[in-house]
Amino acid sequence: MTDTVVVTGALGGSGSWIVDRLREDHEVIAIDRELPEIRVEDVDFRAVDLTEQGPTWETIVDADPDSVVHFGNIPHEENHAGGDVYRNNVLSTFDVLEAAGRADARVVWASSETVYGTHWPEPELPASLPIDESHPTAPWNAYETSKLAGEAVAERIANAFGVQVATIRPSWIQYPGSYAVTAIREGFDLDSASRSGNLWSYVDVRDVVGIVEAALTTDFDGHEVFNAFAADTYLDVSTTEAIEAGYGDLPEECDLDDTESGFSTAKAGDLLGWEPEHSWREAETEDVDGPAFVRGRR
């Protein structure tokens, strides 16, 4: 019997890749604010404003899904007021996860690396490296505060309904053949390096899809948080050299090799059997066909 999966943010950057992959093996109900302008095989699209509780609950609960994948948030404050981002993200996450709990569906949803405080104007040197999920959170703007509030919602849903909830904290998501980090690396100089809040980290969208799949197919109890980062940074220099150049120091506890990411994904490896597979070294110039139904495409 084919599982039913609801995916929100289905026309977004990551959501569209998730839908495109899951439709191969699952019955997918894809939710976004608007409908795609092309027909998508094997996907049932629904136009829903996730901040409206009634339509959200009706759509998800009536679908009786086995799983819900929630990626339908505003991803930054670049062209939105912070208060609007916070209200949208918190309301939509509560509505979606609450409906999933009532439907007895397991949940995978996207939080963010930014809950660690990566957007601070003057990021602080971490107490130790690499950073794992137990590292203290330090939200600075409304976006990351909304994600931290969403993690509290995830904890509540697991407690109240006894469903499995995986919170994914992805790094800066990159797309094969069009990596946004390329220009930053090419302009990087150790002599003039400034602080990078996320320690020059990133993750390929295909690895985000991979960790979502792993969380959908692995059993664990309650609510767990997982980092999702590439294994390396997007620089072509030693990570410790870059951190020392930008921050002027290294934490006393620092266990990083060569260009290794400053964020640990060991927990995802241990519990989900997931490891990142893609590096900028190949992915920047890869010719990969992404989903044809991404928002804005005709």
Decide if 239 is inside a domain: no
Question: What is the predicted pLDDT for the residue at 188?
Answer: 95
Decide if 296 is inside a domain: no
Question: What is the predicted pLDDT for the residue at 165?
Answer: 98
For the stretch 34-46, pLDDT in tens is 999 888 989 999 9
For the stretch 57-105, pLDDT in tens is 999 999 999 999 999 998 887 888 889 999 999 999 999 999 999 999 9
The yes-or-no verdict on residue 173 having pLDDT over 50 is: yes
Decide if 101 is inside a domain: yes
* Distance in angstroms between the alpha carbons of the first and the last residue of the chain: 34
Structure tokens at 185: 């690396």
Q: pTM surpassing 0.85? A: yes
* Residue 292 binned pLDDT confidence (cut-offs 50, 70, 90): confident
Decide if 189 is inside a domain: no
Residue 215: which CATH number?
3.40.50.720
Decide if 245 is inside a domain: no
For residue 69, give its domain range. Answer: 4-175+203-230+262-279
Decide if 185 is inside a domain: no
CA gap 196, 192 in Å, rounded: 12
For the stretch 238-287, pLDDT in tens is 999 999 999 999 999 999 999 999 999 999 999 999 999 999 999 999 99
Question: What is the predicted pLDDT for the residue at 298?
Answer: 29
Q: How many domains does the chain fold into?
A: 1
DSSP string, the chain: -PPEEEEESTTSHHHHHHHHHHTTTSEEEEEESS--SS--TTEEEEE--TT-HHHHHHHHHHH--SEEEE--S---STTS-HHHHHHHHHHHHHHHHHHHHHTT-EEEEE--GGGGSTT-SSPPPPSEESB-TTSPP---SHHHHHHHHHHHHHHHHHHHH---EEEEEE-SEE-TT--TTHHHHHT--GGG----TTTT--EEHHHHHHHHHHHHH---SSEEEEEE--SB-SSSS-HHHHHHHHHSS--SEE---TTB-SB--HHHHHHH-------HHHHTT------TT-TT--
> Where is pLDDT greater, at 1 or 292?
292
* Residue 297 binned pLDDT confidence (cut-offs 50, 70, 90): very low
For the stretch 106-152, pLDDT in tens is 999 999 999 999 888 889 999 899 999 999 999 999 999 999 999 99
Decide if 191 is inside a domain: no
The yes-or-no verdict on residue 217 having pLDDT over 60 is: yes
Question: What is the predicted pLDDT for the residue at 294?
Answer: 81
Decide if 255 is inside a domain: no
Question: What is the predicted pLDDT for the residue at 79?
Answer: 83
